[in-house]
């Protein structure tokens, strides 16, 4: 008897709140329909990319004879061509190396910069913050020629270091601004307590602020990684050897020959190239969401 009562109570608690004005039709129009449209728009490009990767050329080019939204005789030819007839695995490794190194470098620099601007409050700190933000607004298409000069003079041209050291030019301003906002949401009183206990600024940063800022760091890291992974113009300008290219540039060079686009292999390259980012996101999605809602709930 008691068990039944408890179970009934639990079921009632688990059921969604049902208001008088709520109805199935209303939920359909207000929730499921917009959500469905959103999912369709968001996922359709990925679906298209995936089915194109496995379609034989005959199906790819003839929409009259074949349903464009489905595959009748799937093939692995495009994947095989990509993996075994091009240097794709090497491009993938280069892209990974560049994205990871530039992300780590940017996060390290941004953390120190954001902490200094937000917490040390030195004279002109606000203006420094503003200047960093303005640097973010300068488009890469303007920066790439002066940066190319520097890259040449430092002897880094056509090496992964050319990208590892230039990507932070847009990653650091972005991450710094993200982290300034995040550090702002951590109560200053925590640091004051630590100061009273005799901790130094670096100790406070390492033992108090950074552990609380992990979701913010992960969020900044995800953004940096994705921006680095997808970057095109610097990778195009600073790398010329076929084997040192990153995925976004290399698949275009290798799989677009004049006006002949090898769509199957191109889409397979894009699909395989987007997987590491998707996996990266899936590991840290909880942190990412929590970072958007602030560090410490007061």
Where does this chain bind other proteins (CB under 8 A)?
A: 57-58, 61-64, 144-145, 148-149, 152, 157, 233, 236-238, 240-242, 249, 252-254, 256-261
Dihedral of CA atoms 62, 86, 236, 225 in degrees, nearest 10, equals 90
CB 103 within 8 A of CB 225: yes
Measured CA to CA, the distance from residue 88 to residue 80 in angstroms comes to: 11
CB 43 within 8 A of CB 257: no
CA dihedral (183, 187, 189, 190) positive or negative: negative
Measured CA to CA, the distance from residue 239 to residue 234 in angstroms comes to: 8
Helix (H) or strand (E) holding 66: none
Give the shortest CB-248-to-other proteins separation in angstroms.
11
Give the shortest CB-127-to-other proteins separation in angstroms.
32
Minimum CB distance to other proteins smaller for 224 or for 262: 262
Minimum CB distance to other proteins smaller for 24 or for 64: 64
Minimum CB distance to other proteins smaller for 204 or for 255: 255
21: phi then psi, degrees, rounded to nearest 5: -80, -10
The alpha carbons of the chain give a radius of gyration, in whole angstroms, of: 25
Minimum CB distance to other proteins smaller for 217 or for 267: 267
Give the shortest CB-52-to-other proteins separation in angstroms.
12
Give the shortest CB-194-to-other proteins separation in angstroms.
49
221: phi then psi, degrees, rounded to nearest 5: -65, -45
Minimum CB distance to other proteins smaller for 38 or for 261: 261
Give the shortest CB-89-to-other proteins separation in angstroms.
19
Give the shortest CB-271-to-other proteins separation in angstroms.
19
Minimum CB distance to other proteins smaller for 136 or for 157: 157
């Amino acid at each position: 008897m008691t068990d039944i009562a408890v179970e009934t109570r639990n079921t009632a608690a688990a059921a969604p709140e049902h208001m008088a004005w709520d109805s199935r039709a209303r939920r359909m129009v207000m929730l499921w329909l917009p959500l469905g449209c959103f999912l369709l728009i968001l996922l359709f490009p990925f679906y298209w990319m995936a089915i194109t990767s496995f379609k034989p050329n005959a199906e790819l080019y003839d929409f009259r004879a074949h349903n464009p939204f489905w595959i009748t005789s799937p093939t692995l030819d495009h994947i095989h061509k990509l993996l075994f007839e091009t240097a794709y695995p090497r491009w993938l490794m280069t892209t990974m190396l560049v994205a990871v190194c530039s992300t780590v470098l940017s996060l390290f620099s941004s953390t120190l910069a954001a902490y200094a601007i937000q917490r040390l409050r030195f004279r002109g700190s606000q203006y420094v913050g503003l200047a960093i933000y303005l640097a973010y607004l300068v488009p890469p298409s303007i920066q790439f020629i002066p940066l190319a000069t520097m890259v040449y003079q430092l002897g880094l041209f056509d090496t992964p270091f050319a990208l590892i050291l230039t990507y932070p030019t847009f990653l650091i301003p972005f991450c710094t601004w993200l982290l300034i906002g995040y550090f702002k949401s951590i109560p200053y009183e925590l640091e004051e307590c630590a100061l009273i206990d005799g901790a130094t600024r670096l100790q406070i940063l390492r033992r108090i602020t950074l552990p609380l800022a992990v979701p913010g760091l992960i969020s900044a890291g995800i953004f940096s990684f994705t921006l680095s992974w997808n970057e095109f113009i610097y990778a195009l300008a600073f790398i010329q050897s076929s084997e040192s290219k990153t995925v976004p540039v290399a698949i275009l060079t290798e799989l677009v020959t004049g006006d002949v686009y090898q769509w199957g292999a191109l889409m397979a390259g894009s699909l395989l190239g987007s997987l590491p980012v998707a996996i990266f996101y899936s590991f840290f999605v909880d942190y990412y969401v929590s970072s958007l809602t602030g560090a410490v709930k007061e």
